[in-house]
């Protein structure tokens, strides 16, 4: 979605400034972009020898934690209970999981709403607004949620399923408050251990904010 979304926006902007009598000064900004995406931005916007500034991934306010719970939903409830009255995003890999987790949270007394591409436009907009304007505390969503969201009080991001790659993981984790100290928790099961190790090894190269003993099984290290 990200690259296609960016390409569409840039193409529209290029058509607009081509109609102008002069070429304006152009600056392009993005929160996360791979080398390929950065090259696409330069190519599509036809930037001539642009100044490129790439900052690091490290954000001092982010606290990363990994858990391997026996029961992921129980673990999720425990995590949410430790962040009462704070806005939280729970990312799931599929629409079906979003529906199931959101329903179970509401059945257990939590204030949760949902967001995924299978909902109609009106419901997606309503649910998004309810979360942004603090009418609902917990957003359960696929990766489709978060782009362009301006919300300054998200203190918790939970990855209920393993993100598909390192870019998706850090993009989801980065959808938290940029000023407050916040926590991002990755819950996973044994079959994805090799994927997790690869992700964490890459993250360690980009940030220092991972606890050395952050691998937990509710009190049992492994």
139-185 per-position pLDDT tens digit: 999 988 876 677 878 888 898 988 777 777 777 776 665 555 555 66
Q: What is the pLDDT of residue 173?
A: 74
Angle of helix 35-44 relative to helix 2-18, nearest 10 degrees?
20
Q: pLDDT for 92-112, tens place per residue?
A: 999 999 999 999 999 999 999
Instruction: Report the pLDDT averaged over residues 44-71.
Output: 80
Q: What is the pLDDT of residue 55?
A: 78
63 pLDDT more than 70: yes
Q: Alpha-carbon distance 171 to 125, whole Å?
A: 21
Q: What is the pLDDT of residue 18?
A: 75
**Nearest to residue 28, comparing CAs of 40, 20, 16?**
40
Angle of helix 95-107 relative to helix 72-81, nearest 10 degrees?
60
40 pLDDT more than 90: no
Would you say the C-alpha torsion 193, 197, 198, 200 has a positive or negative sign? positive
List C-alpha distances in Å: 91 to 7, 12, 161: 25, 30, 7
Q: What is the pLDDT of residue 23?
A: 78
210 pLDDT more than 60: no
Q: Alpha-carbon distance 222 to 68, whole Å?
A: 9
Mean pLDDT score across all residues of the chain? 76
**Percent helix, strand and coil across the chain, each rounded to 5?**
40, 15, 45
As a whole-number percent, the residues of the chain with pLDDT over 90 amount to 31
DSSP code of residue 214: E
Q: What is the pLDDT of residue 221?
A: 30
DSSP code of residue 191: G
pTM of the model: 0.68
Q: What is the pLDDT of residue 59?
A: 66
Helix, strand or coil, per DSSP, at residue 163: coil
């Amino acid at each position: 979605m990200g690259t296609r979304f960016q390409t569409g926006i840039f193409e529209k902007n290029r058509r607009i400034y081509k109609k102008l009598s002069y070429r304006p000064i152009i600056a392009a900004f993005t929160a996360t972009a791979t080398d390929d995406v950065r090259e696409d931005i330069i190519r599509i916007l036809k930037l001539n020898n642009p100044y490129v500034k790439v900052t690091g991934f490290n954000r001092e306010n982010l606290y990363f934690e990994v858990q391997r719970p026996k029961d992921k939903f129980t673990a999720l409830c425990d995590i949410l209970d430790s962040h009462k009255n704070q806005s939280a995003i729970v990312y799931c890999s599929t629409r079906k999981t979003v529906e199931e987790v959101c329903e179970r949270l509401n059945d257990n007394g939590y204030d949760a709403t949902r967001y995924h591409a299978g909902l109609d436009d009106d419901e997606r907009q309503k649910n998004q607004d309810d979360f942004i304007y603090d009418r609902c505390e917990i957003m359960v969503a696929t990766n489709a949620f978060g782009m362009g969201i301006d919300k300054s009080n998200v203190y918790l991001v939970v990855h209920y399923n393993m993100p598909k790659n390192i870019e998706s993981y850090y993009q989801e984790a980065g959808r938290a408050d940029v000023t407050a100290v916040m926590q991002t928790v990755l819950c996973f099961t044994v079959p994805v251990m090799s994927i997790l190790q690869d992700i964490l090894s890459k993250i360690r190269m980009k940030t220092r904010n991972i606890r050395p003993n952050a691998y937990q099984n509710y009190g049992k290290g492994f």
